[in-house]
Amino acid sequence: MGQLGTLVQQLSGPSFGYSEGLLKDIKPERFARFTTPGGTTVSTNHPAWQIGHLAIYPAKVSQACGLKLEGVSNSEQDLALFEAGKDCQDDAKGSIYPTKDELTGKFFDGYRKLVAACAEASDDFLAAPHEGNERMREFMPSRVALLSFMVSGHIMMHMGQISTWRRCEGMGPAM
């Protein structure tokens, strides 16, 4: 394992730990629901949307970086529901979004495989430019920059939103 792969692996640890803490006690029947503090519905991105959104990125980022991940892909439905800019919907009947177990399984499995692939890659490979879109290349020009952001900053941004959702639900801190 090169130093850059080790760095990506180290950055992922706190993200995964915080994610596990935030998600473990959310009831499956609330996972895809808008929060209603004091009886007022807040149209916020619920955990199902946040985790589904994050879960599409291991496939996208591995493709941009030229990494092969066994069993990690996105369906058209995944992209239709969770692509950046897609509206989050309150799923009172449980008919729009996959279940909590399906989404969290895809999220953790995809990211763990992505991190494992980084650990196998050489420093030269990870330091090279990626094939992602122009906006990604502008802000994160190398594979390691993109991977580091995706396993740390991107996850933590969305976990912050789940943390706020939890508090609106009357749940305590995860840490």
Mean pLDDT of 139-167: 96
Residues 6+ away with beta carbon under 8 Å from 93? none
Average pLDDT over residues 68-95: 96
Q: Compute the average pLDDT of residues 107-113.
A: 98
Tell whether the model's pLDDT for residue 1 goes beyond 80: no
- Gap between the Cα atoms of 20 and 28, Å rounded: 14
Mean pLDDT, residues 18-28 taken together: 97
pLDDT confidence of residue 175? 78
Given this model, what pLDDT does residue 43 score?
Answer: 86
Query: Residue 55's pLDDT is what?
Result: 98
Predicted pLDDT at 149:
97
Q: What is the pLDDT of residue 94?
A: 95
Q: How confident is the model at residue 95 (pLDDT cuts 50, 70, 90)?
A: very high
Decide: pTM greater than 0.75: yes
> What are the backbone dihedrals phi and psi of residue 126, each rounded to the nearest 5 degrees, phi first?
-70, -25
For the chain, domains (ranges, CATH) are 3-168 (1.20.120.450)
Burial degree of 156 (CB within 10 A; 0-12, 13-18, 19+)? middle
> What is the pLDDT at residue 71?
96
143/132 Cα distance (integer angstroms): 9
Has residue 173 got a pLDDT over 80? yes
Instruction: Output the average pLDDT for the chain.
Output: 96
